[in-house]
Amino acid sequence: MRTAGLLFVVGLCVLSITSSLKICAFNVQSFGESKANNKKVMGILMKILSRCDLCLIQEVRDSKGEAIQSLVKDLNSFDNSNSYSYVESERLGRKTYKEQYVYIYRNNMLEVKEHYQYPKPKGDAVNETDDFSREPFIVRFHSPTTLVKDFVLIGQHTCPKNAMKEIDLLYTVFKGIYQKWKTDNVMILGDLNAGCSYVTIKGWRAVRLRSDPKFNWLIGDDQDTTVREKTRCAYDRIIVHGRQMISCIVPGSAQPFNFKENFHLTEEEALEVSDHFPVEVELKSNHRYLLRNEL
């Protein structure tokens, strides 16, 4: 009996030690009141989001702010072994069309240290020549369970017709964040529209995030982050910078999550949720921290 008990305890420790932190980015395509009231869609979203310790949601369209509250409330009920919180951006957009970025995270695993809404150019509030259609929303997290303790996420949903310009300008955003928070452990993630007709081989050469070898593109150009069978485009990306951050990535963990196949949905059913797949990556756990807390 003592041997069996010891094996059980060791097994628990091994499970904890081998665990990692999963970070996701998901363009939920016009997430608002309609989807929040659709039980079937919300059921699928619960299964998708509960796989993630931290998820950047894009295309939140609800002006009342109730859809995300409902989503996080349902997520806490669906996965009662964890506790979820969220931090949201301003409503962003040049004219009447507005979106928000929302980071949903397990507050029993992560802490928000700071957040920062990248500003519009002064005096250019609703100008078509703004740097970004939707300015990046940037959050600094503290994660005691991972090898990299503090890191910054830069969330971005580019305008398709200006995708290459906006992707290049994220280099300037990174430089500003480095000066502001004195850390280069940064992850840039979201629907960058970084594929198919929105990018060109010639254009990539001018994009600083691509030409600077210090930035690692974890989702490759040959990946497919779209739900429709007729498309194959790597729109959604995860890009990492910083020695600690890069060394903390679990090899092979960066990939789209094909919820259509995993949950045995038809294309029509999947498209009710989104026309994008989430992209995800895992950070290595701090074995010493987990073992110390397990014991």
Question: What does the pLDDT look like over 154-203, one tens digit per residue?
Answer: 999 999 999 999 999 999 999 999 999 999 999 999 999 999 999 999 99
Q: What pLDDT does residue 290 have? A: 56
Q: Is residue 205 part of a domain?
A: yes
Q: Is residue 2 part of a domain?
A: no
Q: Is residue 9 part of a domain?
A: no
Could you please report the per-residue DSSP string of 148-211? S-EEEEEE----GGGHHHHHHHHHHHHHHHHHHH----EEEEEE---SGGG--HHHHTT-HHHH
Q: What pLDDT does residue 162 have? A: 96
- Picking from 200, 186, 276, 266, the residue whose alpha carbon sits closest to that of residue 231 is 276
Give the confidence band of 7 by pLDDT, cuts at 50, 70, 90: very low
Residue 221, pLDDT > 60, answer: yes
Q: Is residue 95 part of a domain?
A: yes
Predicted confidence (pLDDT) per residue in 123-147, tens digit: 655 555 569 999 999 999 999 999 9
Q: Is the pTM of this model over 0.75?
A: yes
Predicted confidence (pLDDT) per residue in 229-242, tens digit: 999 999 999 999 99
Active centre residues (catalytic): 99, 157
Q: Which residue range forms the structural domain that includes residue 195?
A: 21-294
Q: What pLDDT does residue 287 have? A: 73
CATH number for the domain that contains residue 132 = 3.60.10.10
Q: Is residue 15 part of a domain?
A: no
Q: Is residue 204 part of a domain?
A: yes
Could you give the number of structural domains in the chain? Answer: 1
Q: What pLDDT does residue 6 have? A: 44
* Alpha carbons 94 and 121: distance in angstroms, whole number: 12
Q: Mean of the per-residue pLDDT values for the chain?
A: 91
Kindly report the length of the chain: 295
Predicted confidence (pLDDT) per residue in 16-48, tens digit: 444 899 999 999 999 999 999 999 999 999 999
Q: Is residue 79 part of a domain?
A: yes
